[in-house]
Amino acid sequence: MTISLKNRLALTYALFISLALGVLTLIINSFTGRIFNALITDNIVKKSEEIVRDIGDRYNPLMREFDAFSIEAMGMSFVHEGYIVTVEDEEGNLVWDARSCDMRQCMEVINDITGRMEGRFRLNGGLRQERYPVRYSGRTIGTVTIETYGPFFYSETETKFLSSINRLLLIAGIILTLISVGVSIALSRAIARPVKKAEEAARQIARVHAPWTRVSGGAKADQPVIRIPEGYKTRELAELSRSLNLLAAELEEAEGRQKRLTSDIAHELRTPLTCLRGDIEAMLDGVYHPDREHLESCHEEILRLTGLVEDLNTLANLEWEADTPYGMSTNLNKSGFDLAKLLRTTAEQFRAAAHEKGIEITLNLMESPITADYDQLKQVFINLLSNAIKYTDRGGITITITEGSGSRSAGQGWRSAQAAAPVHWEVTITDTGIGIPERDLPHIFERLYRSDKSRSRGTGGAGIGLTIAAAIVHAHGGTISAENRREEPASGTVFRVTL
């Protein structure tokens, strides 16, 4: 059986606050009870001393005796207050005894106090006697014995006062409990409301971006963007709303990229297929002769199709291997080699193409031992250099290797140099080409993304080369990034690969 977050929070808060109030009430009751009992005990002592003084005042020094009549009147009033008094003179003769005077009254008082203390207040006590000397002018003139219920007892007035206090605490506890329940319900609603909105937003996001919804045309252009408010003062709720809004934005962006991906693949396949179809139909209709020129044109289009399919297949394999439990690194054919030598060899392949465009390739390399997949890394730098030459019409391209950290002594052999290799190597490929628009920089490593929207066959590709390069670098545990040159003139791009 499940319970809603609102009800769970309300129940938890109510139980917690009620328990806290109950414990607090017990503590207050115990604390005030101890103070009150100490006060009552002190009052009993003071009252006993007052009784002794009053009886001493009833002593006649001329007659050398107590006024028995006055003591009797006082003694009966003491009995009603719970004090059973017996008075003896200095010779030990009985002057007055409350029990002898009115035994029935004394027993009623004692039974009433005993029943009150043991039945109502759960105090197991008994009658206690205290003997006090009565002095006059420095000499003992008699003895007063006071019998009370001990260790202490409550009078009727004090009992009523305690009952009022307990009743007040009970009422206050009930009121505070009801208030706590109300506050708990309000608090739980305040916390559960944004969570409920987040749940509804997540359901809407899932419904809008579900594959069957997209196929059936459910995500319409005029449909409002799904977002939830972010102005919450609670940090966790604010982070939850921001995360959901970010998820919705990323899903919308991913859906847009997927649509563009489908459109781009269709376009890239349609163009060479259209050319092939036109040339072959023309040859079949006799418009073209199947000579070398037209067959070479068909062959070029077939090569374009083959290259595109191979690139897509390479990218699919890289991404699939990266998603396996052990990652693509398990399928890398790693070996030790000099990264500078790889870059030098790769650059030589593009010398002729660079010379045709009147640009120069400059190398700033250093010995850089590394353990990696030689062929895969060569593909990375072929893609980057091809891209740089394609979009550079003047100036040149510079390839540089720098150390991330650590150092090596000159003259060391390969093995010792490899053992002392730095934490990472950084390769930068800088061109003086047309640059990349700032809005496109975050997306250039995405599949089939091209900052050149004109789709000119002169500037080429399908937008897969950089994606393949990024997948290979990431499989090696490295990073790849791109930025525009900041130097004057403000043109050109810097690709940075860290391995």
pLDDT digits (tens, 9 = 90+) for 396-410: 999 999 997 644 433
Average of per-residue pLDDT values in the chain: 78
Tokens 């890289």 correspond to 318
Q: How many residues does the chain have?
A: 499
Burial of residue 94, with CB atoms counted within 10 A of its CB: 0-12 exposed, 13-18 middle, 19 or more buried: exposed
- Measure the CA–CA gap between 425 and 109, rounded to whole angstroms: 102
pLDDT at 377: 92
Identify the band that residue 481 occupies on the pLDDT scale cut at 50, 70 and 90.
very high
For 113, phi and psi rounded to 5 degrees? -65, -45
Do 175 and 167 touch, CB atoms closer than 8 A? no
What is residue 248's three-state secondary structure? helix
Q: CA angle, 23 as apex, 22 and 26 as ends, to 5°?
A: 90
- This prediction has a pTM of 0.46
C-alpha distance from residue 183 to each of 17, 54, 173, 177, 232 (Å): 10, 59, 15, 10, 19
**Does residue 219 register a pLDDT over 60?**
no
Cα separation values, 313 from 72, 106, 261, 391, Å: 120, 111, 15, 26
In sequence order, the β-bridge partners of residue 481 are: 496
Q: Which two tokens stand for residue 310?
A: 């191979």
- Average pLDDT value for residue range 107-121: 83
Res 335: pLDDT: 92
